[in-house]
Amino acid sequence: MTHPFDPGYGTEPFRTLCAEYPDTDVYPPARFRVEWGPIFHRGRLDGSARVLVIGQDPAQHETIVRRILVGEAGRRLQGFLAKLGITTSYVLINTFFYSVYGSVTTAVRKKPELIAYRHRWLNALLIDQQIEAVVTLGTLATEAWQLWKATPQGQATNVAVAAITHPTQPESSAKNNKTKLAAAIKAMLKNWNAGLQQLAPAIQHPDQVTPLVLYGDAFQDGDRVSIPAGDLPAGLPAWMHEQDGWARRVGTDEQKKRANITITVPKGVLS
C-alpha cells in the first residue's frame, strides 16, 4: 500500500521563499500567533495548478498539520472546487502566513514588508504559470488580491476572479444560534453559486469534466470533500484530514489558550 503526500518546498522559488519568511518585525506578536510559526500553502507547487485560492489565516488544525485550509473551511472549499471539476489542480495560500490573534489593524495589513512577501508568492504562482481562475475567501483575501492586481505584474495578468464568502463565516456570524446559522449558510451558498457560475466558463482544463451542479439552501451529502492525502506532509495520520475537532486551544485565560493546542485522537481510532 502506498501513501501519497506533499513533497514540500524543495524546489525554487519556494525553497527560498520558505527560508526568507518574515518574522516578528513584520508580523507583530500582539496581532499574530507568531510563536507557532508561519504556514505557507496547500496544493500544487509544480506548475500544474489551474485555480489559485487566497484564504485568510491559519487556525489550530493548520498549525499542527503545517498546511492551510485543512479543517471544516478546507473541506467546504474542496467541495466548491470539485463542482468546477478541480480535484487536484489547485494551489492555496493565505492573506496572512501567521494565525491572527484578535484582529489586524489597517496599519499592520498595509505594512510594505508584509505585502511585499505575499506578492512574492503571488508572483511565483501566477507569472508565466497556467492559472485560469482565482478565488478569494472573504474581504481580507479580496483586499490582498486587489493589492497584487495593482502591481505591474498584476496588471499584466488576466484571469477570472470570484470573491466569495469565507467558508466558515456562517458559524462566526451566527454565534451558536441555529436559526441564524441556517440563514447564513443559505446566504453563503447563494453567493457561492454566483461564484461558480462566474468561474466555470474560465476553467478550460478541469481535472474532471463535470456538469455544474449548484448548491441548494444547505450543504448536502457530497458538498464537503475530505482533504486529499497528497496535499499533506508525509506520514500524517488519516484522522487528521478526515475529521475536525481534534485540535483545540485550551486554557483558563486567553494567554494560556494562545500557548496551548491540545490534540486528541478521535474516538474509534484506538482499538
Per-residue pLDDT 10s for the chain (271 aa) are 899 999 999 999 999 999 999 999 999 999 999 999 999 999 999 999 999 999 999 999 999 999 999 999 999 999 999 999 999 999 999 999 999 999 999 999 999 999 999 999 999 999 999 999 999 999 999 999 999 999 999 999 999 999 999 999 999 999 889 999 999 999 999 999 999 999 999 999 999 999 999 999 999 999 999 999 999 999 999 888 877 789 999 999 999 999 999 999 998 888 7
Take residue 38 and report the three cell numbers written for it.
508561519
Tell me which residue has cell 521563499.
17
The pLDDT, as a whole number, for residue 241 is 80
What are the residue ranges of helices labelled H in 84-176? Answer: 106-109, 112-126, 139-149, 152-155, 169-174
Residue 242 contacts residue 231 (beta carbons within 8 Å): no
What is the CATH topology of the domain spanning 24-209?
Uracil-DNA Glycosylase, subunit E (3.40.470)
Residue 165 contacts residue 193 (beta carbons within 8 Å): no
The pLDDT, as a whole number, for residue 41 is 98
Q: Domain limits of the chain? A: 24-209
Q: What is the pTM of this model?
A: 0.96
Q: Round to whole Å and give the CA distance between 165 and 249.
A: 25
Q: How many H-runs (helices) and E-runs (strands) does the chain carry? A: 11, 7
The pLDDT, as a whole number, for residue 40 is 98
